[in-house]
Structure 1
Amino acid sequence: MQEIYVSTDVETDGPIPGINSMLSFASAAYLPDKTLVSTFSANLETLPEAKSDPQTMEWWKTQPEAWSACRQNLQAPDLAMPKYVQWLESLPGKPVFVAYPAAFDFMFVYWYLIRFAGKSPFSHSALDIKTLAMALLKTGYRDATKRRMPRHWFDNLPHTHISLDDAIEQGALFCNMLQELHRP
């Protein structure tokens, strides 16, 4: 079974799941040749027991369009996450979680999947775009920043802090990097 790369972006009201809520998440499923197969997105109701982080909420004040976008058409996590699992399992390949940075996005998605769907089609693993950049650039991890990456890795796609836009943008970036990795 071929791998399908599931570029995922989350928007949250704080730094850790459970104490804080995932407000929105989206995934863009790509084949290695950069064919966008399908997308999934959901805006979530906040967890009743969670609290918003004051610093994160200050940052949200600088992003009014993205804030507005992630607070529309809210779904309960216990309904959205099983739908997400169904979507993942319907993809034409074995899903590989991809994000920038993977540690943050995967932490939220995995926590929500286990809590509200009882399983993760990704297992326990995630592919980090920044780590791949480090390897391709032959540099240290902290030097593998977007501003140091070659322009040809980037498509002309927006980064808006709206989860679906950002999942599509970083998925294209990943596929461009993957093509470079496989060049002779």
Structure 2
Amino acid sequence: MSIIMVDIESDGPIPGDYSMVSFGAVVVEESLSKTFYGKLKPISDKWIQEALEVSGHTREEVLSFSEPVEVMNEFKVWLNENSNGNPMFYSDNNGFDWQFINWYFHHFLGENPFGFSSSNLGSLYKGMVSDTFKNFKHLTRTKHTHNPVDDAIGNAEALLHMKQEMGLKIGLK
């Protein structure tokens, strides 16, 4: 089983009514060299300007992105080629990121290669340090840019730090 760190950017708070603009993923391993970047054409005429601005893209730009079914299929192929066994979904905010990835996989491909569960990096760190007010962001090396690949890599760096420096028992294959 491989851990895949994922980060998404969207133009609103929920999938279906709003669109996932882009997402990035990285296999959590020492090299952090196996990455995926998808940019998706909107599925809705609705968007929130402030949410879209976070991604660094304009509405005109995202309208030229790839069809979601193509991107989700490419991501599924990438997962099959880059993970050992069933991939495990991790993210900084899995309540947000997971809902988009899960919805898009089911809506466009009829299945989700991650299955039915996800893990939250922030909650894992809070449990490790026994403090619900602590944040793991100081463990990242890659700057948080809202490019979802950069952000996924930074989060993967934090998880690797938790394993290597803090003693987290976690299998990374």
Q: Do the structures match in fold with TM over 0.5?
A: yes
AA in 2 matched with 1:145: N
Cα deviation, residue 73, structure 1: 6.2
Q: Confirm or deny: 8 A CA contact 2:94 2:118 kept in the other structure.
A: yes
C-alpha RMSD over aligned residues: 2.1
Cα deviation, residue 59, structure 1: 5.0
Cα deviation, residue 67, structure 1: 2.1
Match of 2:163 in 1: 178
Cα deviation, residue 145, structure 1: 2.4
Q: Confirm or deny: 8 A CA contact 2:11 2:19 kept in the other structure.
A: yes
TM-score scaled to structure 1, two decimals?
A: 0.81
Counterpart Cα distance in 2 of 1:12 and 1:41: 14
Match of 1:67 in 2: 57
Cα deviation, residue 91, structure 1: 1.6
Aligned residues with identical type, % of pairs: 27
Number of equivalent positions: 165
SS of 1:25's partner is strand
SS of 1:97's partner is strand
| Structure 1 residues without counterparts, runs of 5 or longer | none
Match of 1:52 in 2: 47
SS of 1:26's partner is strand
Change (3 A) 1:39 1:72: farther
Match of 2:153 in 1: 168
Match of 1:98 in 2: 90
AA in 2 matched with 1:102: N
For residues 40-97 of structure 1, the C-alpha deviation after alignment (integer angstroms, 9 at most, x for no partner) is 11111000x44113xxx22544x58x226x7496110011101111111112413111
The structure 2 residue matched to 1:25, chosen from 23, 40, 50, is 23
SS of 1:182's partner is coil
Match of 1:81 in 2: 72
| Structure 2 residues without counterparts, runs of 5 or longer | none
TM-score scaled to structure 2, two decimals?
A: 0.85
Counterpart Cα distance in 1 of 2:51 and 2:12: 10
Counterpart Cα distance in 2 of 1:144 and 1:122: 28
Counterpart Cα distance in 2 of 1:59 and 1:27: 20
